[in-house]
Chains A and B, each alone.
Chain A
Amino acid sequence: MQELINRAKELLADGTVARVLGWKAGDLPFNPEPAYFEKEEDFADFVYDGFCGANLSKYMIEASKLEGKTLVCLKPCDTYSFRQLMKEHRVNREKAYIIGVGCRGKLDVNKIRDLGIKGIESVQGAEIEGSDTLTFQTLYGEKTCSYADAMLERCHVCKGKEHMIYDELIGESRETKDADRFAEVEKIEAMSPEERFAYFQKELSKCIRCNACRNVCPACSCRKCVFDSNKFDSAQKANVNSFEEKMFHIIRAFHVAGRCTDCGECSRVCPQGIPLHLFNRKFIKDIDELYGEYQAGADDEERGPLTSYTVDDAEPGIVAERG
């Protein structure tokens, strides 16, 4: 982390960048938050550790409009989002100085809580070069758990340790994949339509429409979301039943289909713990099966299967066959 801070200060000092986009310590040891650093003294609370899950790519949309370059710290998986945003002309590559930061998987405080570790006062081992064991000082004494057990779901299906785009790299990355990316989706696919409906009814009925998933999603980058626009009746219509509100998530999944890089931010930020990434991953699985494997953001040139056409594309009749 010190190397990252030193380099960031250096680039600020020599005028290469006008500001640094990273993470600063939050009010609790496990909730650092995205922040801009513009002066040397700002770096006092700069942090980059296992809890820095936030994908900073989306902040570059606004940062692209600012004077001068912005140094942005991107983890390997964040770089997919950045490239996808480049493809959509939403970020300006010229305005970004990308430091590809090392990553060995990010932590999920909910998983730690599920392991019975509550009342956390401080954490050791979450550092970027830290140990495989996390040690917590809690209100109830010292507790430990393995780093891997506390990782975010998305890190168990890690896309790899390679950065898709960067100006320089700082720190080692490790691939943390140890699970099948589509196992959960397959489980849902195997359900009967009634079971499936009941499952999503149950999950989505937890939604409080805080819009956190939308606001964090790098694919949800519309200047004005259809759900906020007075141009459409969708923003004003009263709901006919309680589930209709949840159509929000289904429409959102359609809007990001083919563009979602599977960064997993939606599920990470959901205060209600809804596995929102499953919608997107279902689309990704379908796209892989119907159009060949595709990873959004792996490039910034290709049109992507849903916005290009080839004669070999699946015929609409495939819907009848697949159900």
Chain B
Amino acid sequence: MQRIGVFVCHCGTNIAATVDVKKVVEMALAEPGVVHAEDYQYMCSEVGQEKIQNAIREKNLGGVVVCSCSPRMHETTFRNAAQKAGLNPYMVEIANIREHCSWIHKDVKEATEKAVILMRAAVAKVNLNTPLKAGESRVTKRALVIGGGIAGIQTALDIAEAGYPVDIVEKTPSIGGRMSQLDKTFPTLDCSSCILTPKMVDASAHPNITLYTYSEVEKVSGFVGDFTVDIRKKARSVDMSKCTGCGVCQEKCPSKKIPSEFNRGLSNRTAIYTPFAQAIPNVPVIDRENCIKFKTGKCGVCSKVCQAGAIDYNQKDEIITEKYGAIVVATGFDMIKLDKYDEYAYSQSKDVITSLELERIMNAAGPTSGHLERLSDGKAPKEIVFIQCVGSRCADDRGKSYCSKICCMYTAKHAMLIRDKYPDVNVTVFYIDVRTPGKNFDEFYRRAVEEYGVNYIKGQVGKVIPQPNGKLLVQGADLIDNKQILKEADMVVLAAAIEPNPDVRKIATMLTASIDTNNFLTEAHAKLRPVESPTAGIFLSGVCQGPKDIPETVSQAGAAAVKAIGLLAKDKLLTNPCTAHSDELLSNGCSQCAHVCPYGAITYEERQVNDHGIREVRRIAVVNDALCQGCGACTVTCPSGAMDLQGFSNRQIQAEVDAICL
């Protein structure tokens, strides 16, 4: 039996308002093994930590239980404090009486009862704790950035500038991401290309940055400081070392009717293509699904016209395996599909478009060379209606519950730009709220209203009805005037909600990084660790973590880079000593644990054993401590109970369960 000290934190009123902390102390003193118990207002403060340290020294404590917040918050704090007083840090257990108790209960009696039970479970566990010692692992000084949009580019540049090699893996043929599709950017209205393309060039030219475009992350193994990643470099069918980027192949390609992804399907591209003129690398890819040569075996025009001899129809996907110390996810977003919002007639009329499509239409390099025109008949629109929150802030399951955050501002931008360039065009915006929290944002919006005369109507549109004369009848509500509005428009622009790139699920799974119900990656702490994933060594950059505009994305990208640099700057990391071990006399050698181990930490060896006199060679599971991350998957898979996790042994868990249930 350990000599145990129990320390109950009030957390100000966070805990003390709902849990009778004095009662928890009183009950703790009645627990077998507990020789000391006290409460304090803020146990994590210096005074609080000293209380723990003094008790360890004075009462010769062998185990400590801190009843406080989540171990994710302060377990390290208390372990360090105990270590300074000479106690092994793994002799400290946290009873989470805040997140698991006071925050979710209202009734003091019930909450106190639960806090006592949680305290008892922790005491029961600490009784079986054994001192553990952390090992060390090396850090591979190279970072991987998944996604080559503005977030990924900025993170990569910052890491590269700090002197560490960094690889960007981009799924599409070019880096640039969503930002490359934008025309102007709020709130300063500078041209998106003008500020993005230099960064793209910087990224491609930086000696520390390697670009893998038209590539995807295929497999991730390892752990913080030592990830091994397989990158699939998809066959470009064009030799990057030979191509000069002259563009003749694209001019001559006979397969010209493929909807351009970059122009959101508003124009066509060829089968051999670069997504846009400023693409980096400026090397085309052959879209094999649409290439006549790949479909029929006949054609080969691009190969004939290519002076550099760069076309290679036999190129194969290539798998590159590289080691990384840190991984930054910057997979960005896409607009939601609008098939559940057919009341806005998006599928029925070419003149109902999304904001991103409008962005392409307004762009000089876009499908209409920057002329604002109706896609149905090419006529200049006179009356444009913007509909906000299409799929954002949605109460039902058609759309997203969250605010997409960027729409209010880009719509103000669109409205302003249209009114500026085409003063004879009337612009009406239907909105729920106008949200402009950001530097110079509200001023920007007010300019749209006050200087440019954009007509903002508070209210939602119920229906858009295409008329026989080609116009669009917009039926909406004006909540301020409390009246129905029927308006004929030439063009309707939908501010469709944004959602995380659908690939993020796959990537999160490979990285064992958690995602929320909306598929946004979860941060380790919403306030204090906003650019780190709960999975060590994985960092978050840009919209993959939550809706953001460009300024915010760039700041966050920099923050993620700093966190990655902080990791790469270390030579060694302390490893988690809570690793699995197999009992050689119980191991069946059945391989089930190895099958479920996400880290490849379990191997087998033929070993001579002496099982109470039975001497034989057996196939025994062996855990590599350096690879094991202590997830415990093996321990619950092992039918014979041969696998056990240090610090979370089956006996300790059972003791906790017994303390709670019996």
Residues of A within 8 A of B (CB): 65, 87-90, 221-226, 229, 231-233, 255-256, 303-304, 307-309, 311
Task: Give the residue of A65, A229, A256 whose beta carbon is less than 8 angstroms from that of B641.
Answer: A229
Q: Are A89 and B590 in contact (CB under 8 A)?
A: yes
Q: Are B590 and A90 in contact (CB under 8 A)?
A: yes
Task: Give the residue of A65, A221, A231, A233 whose beta carbon is less than 8 angstroms from that of B583.
Answer: A231
Chain B, residues 584-605, CB within 8 Å of chain A (1/0): the string is 0111111110011010000010
Q: Are A307 and B595 in contact (CB under 8 A)?
A: yes
How near does chain B come to A238, taking the closest CB pair, in angstroms?
11
> A89-B591, A304-B595, A311-B509 provided; 8 other pairs, C-beta below 8 A?
A88-B591, A89-B589, A90-B590, A223-B585, A223-B587, A223-B640, A232-B650, A303-B595
Most A Cβ at <10 Å: residue of B505, B586, B588, B640: B640
The verdict on B651 contacting chain A, using a C-beta distance below 8 Å, is yes
A-B contact pairs, 30 of them (CB 8 A): A65-B616, A87-B591, A88-B588, A88-B590, A89-B589, A89-B590, A89-B619, A222-B586, A222-B588, A222-B640, A223-B588, A223-B640, A224-B585, A224-B586, A225-B640, A229-B586, A229-B640, A232-B650, A232-B654, A233-B651, A233-B654, A304-B595, A307-B595, A307-B596, A308-B595, A309-B596, A309-B598, A311-B505, A311-B506, A311-B509
Q: Are B588 and A226 in contact (CB under 8 A)?
A: no
Chain B, residues 363-389, CB within 8 Å of chain A (1/0): the string is 000000000000000000000000000
CA distance A308 to B586 in the complex (A): 23
- Closest 9 A/B residue pairs (Cβ): A88-B590, A307-B595, A222-B640, A255-B639, A303-B595, A226-B641, A89-B589, A307-B596, A307-B592
CA distance A308 to B591 in the complex (A): 12
Most A Cβ at <10 Å: residue of B590, B592, B618, B637: B590
Closest chain A residue to B590, Cβ basis: A88
CA distance A232 to B658 in the complex (A): 13
CA distance A255 to B650 in the complex (A): 16
CA distance A303 to B588 in the complex (A): 16
Given the complex, which residues of A lie within 8 Å of B586, measured CB to CB? 222-224, 229, 231
Given the complex, which residues of A lie within 8 Å of B598, measured CB to CB? 309
How near does chain A come to B179, taking the closest CB pair, in angstroms?
29
CA distance A303 to B597 in the complex (A): 12
Most B Cβ at <10 Å: residue of A224, A255, A304: A224
Given the complex, which residues of B lie within 8 Å of A309, measured CB to CB? 596, 598
Given the complex, which residues of B lie within 8 Å of A304, measured CB to CB? 595
CA distance A307 to B587 in the complex (A): 17
Given contacts A90-B588, A223-B585, contact A307 B637 (CB under 8 A): yes
Given the complex, which residues of A lie within 8 Å of B654, measured CB to CB? 232-233
CA distance A154 to B194 in the complex (A): 74
Closest chain B residue to A221, Cβ basis: B588
CA distance A311 to B611 in the complex (A): 41
Given the complex, which residues of B lie within 8 Å of A233, measured CB to CB? 651, 654
How near does chain B come to A68, taking the closest CB pair, in angstroms?
16
CA distance A310 to B34 in the complex (A): 46
CA distance A233 to B124 in the complex (A): 14
CA distance A221 to B583 in the complex (A): 16
Given the complex, which residues of B lie within 8 Å of A224, measured CB to CB? 585-586, 640
Given the complex, which residues of B lie within 8 Å of A223, measured CB to CB? 585-588, 611, 618, 640
Q: Are B590 and A226 in contact (CB under 8 A)?
A: no
CA distance A232 to B587 in the complex (A): 15
Q: Are A88 and B592 in contact (CB under 8 A)?
A: yes
Q: Are A222 and B509 in contact (CB under 8 A)?
A: no
Most B Cβ at <10 Å: residue of A223, A225, A255: A223
Given the complex, which residues of B lie within 8 Å of A308, measured CB to CB? 595
Given contacts A65-B616, A224-B585, A307-B595, contact A231 B590 (CB under 8 A): no
Closest chain B residue to A219, Cβ basis: B639
CA distance A256 to B640 in the complex (A): 11
Closest chain B residue to A256, Cβ basis: B639
Residues of B within 8 A of A (CB): 505-506, 509, 583, 585-592, 595-596, 598, 604, 611, 616, 618-619, 637, 639-641, 650-651, 654
Given the complex, which residues of A lie within 8 Å of B591, measured CB to CB? 87-89
CA distance A223 to B619 in the complex (A): 11
Given the complex, which residues of A lie within 8 Å of B587, measured CB to CB? 223
How near does chain A come to B590, taking the closest CB pair, in angstroms?
4
Given the complex, which residues of B lie within 8 Å of A255, measured CB to CB? 639
CA distance A223 to B641 in the complex (A): 11
CA distance A65 to B595 in the complex (A): 25
Closest chain B residue to A308, Cβ basis: B595
Q: Are A226 and B592 in contact (CB under 8 A)?
A: no
Given the complex, which residues of B lie within 8 Å of A303, measured CB to CB? 595
Most B Cβ at <10 Å: residue of A88, A90, A304, A307: A307
CA distance A232 to B655 in the complex (A): 11
CA distance A308 to B592 in the complex (A): 9
Given the complex, which residues of A lie within 8 Å of B618, measured CB to CB? 223
Closest chain A residue to B661, Cβ basis: A240
How near does chain B come to A241, taking the closest CB pair, in angstroms?
13
CA distance A256 to B637 in the complex (A): 10
Given the complex, which residues of B lie within 8 Å of A221, measured CB to CB? 588, 590
How near does chain A come to B503, taking the closest CB pair, in angstroms?
11
Closest chain B residue to A61, Cβ basis: B588
Most A Cβ at <10 Å: residue of B587, B619, B639: B639
Task: Give the residue of B604, B619, B640 whose beta carbon is less than 8 angstroms from that of A226.
Answer: B640
Closest chain A residue to B619, Cβ basis: A89
How near does chain B come to A113, taking the closest CB pair, in angstroms?
35
Given the complex, which residues of B lie within 8 Å of A87, measured CB to CB? 591
CA distance A304 to B592 in the complex (A): 10
How near does chain A come to B263, taking the closest CB pair, in angstroms?
31
Given the complex, which residues of A lie within 8 Å of B604, measured CB to CB? 89
Given the complex, which residues of B lie within 8 Å of A311, measured CB to CB? 505-506, 509
Given the complex, which residues of B lie within 8 Å of A225, measured CB to CB? 640
Q: Are A226 and B639 in contact (CB under 8 A)?
A: yes
Given the complex, which residues of B lie within 8 Å of A222, measured CB to CB? 586, 588, 639-640
How near does chain A come to B217, taking the closest CB pair, in angstroms?
13
CA distance A256 to B583 in the complex (A): 20
CA distance A224 to B639 in the complex (A): 10
Given the complex, which residues of A lie within 8 Å of B509, measured CB to CB? 311
How near does chain B come to A1, taking the closest CB pair, in angstroms?
35
How near does chain A come to B510, taking the closest CB pair, in angstroms?
9
CA distance A307 to B650 in the complex (A): 20
CA distance A309 to B583 in the complex (A): 26
CA distance A306 to B208 in the complex (A): 43
Given the complex, which residues of B lie within 8 Å of A229, measured CB to CB? 586, 640-641
CA distance A119 to B388 in the complex (A): 86
CA distance A61 to B611 in the complex (A): 17
Given the complex, which residues of A lie within 8 Å of B505, measured CB to CB? 311
CA distance A233 to B619 in the complex (A): 26
Given the complex, which residues of B lie within 8 Å of A65, measured CB to CB? 616
Closest chain B residue to A303, Cβ basis: B595
Given the complex, which residues of B lie within 8 Å of A232, measured CB to CB? 641, 650-651, 654
How near does chain A come to B457, taking the closest CB pair, in angstroms?
40
How near does chain B come to A167, taking the closest CB pair, in angstroms?
24
CA distance A217 to B443 in the complex (A): 76
Closest chain B residue to A304, Cβ basis: B595
Given the complex, which residues of B lie within 8 Å of A88, measured CB to CB? 588-592
CA distance A60 to B505 in the complex (A): 44
CA distance A263 to B193 in the complex (A): 67
CA distance A65 to B617 in the complex (A): 9
Given the complex, which residues of A lie within 8 Å of B596, measured CB to CB? 307, 309
Given the complex, which residues of A lie within 8 Å of B588, measured CB to CB? 88, 90, 221-223
Given the complex, which residues of B lie within 8 Å of A89, measured CB to CB? 589-591, 604, 619
CA distance A231 to B641 in the complex (A): 9
CA distance A303 to B509 in the complex (A): 19
How near does chain B come to A25, taking the closest CB pair, in angstroms?
32
CA distance A188 to B25 in the complex (A): 49
How near does chain A come to B69, taking the closest CB pair, in angstroms?
26
Given the complex, which residues of A lie within 8 Å of B589, measured CB to CB? 88-90
Given the complex, which residues of A lie within 8 Å of B641, measured CB to CB? 226, 229, 231-232
Given the complex, which residues of A lie within 8 Å of B585, measured CB to CB? 223-224
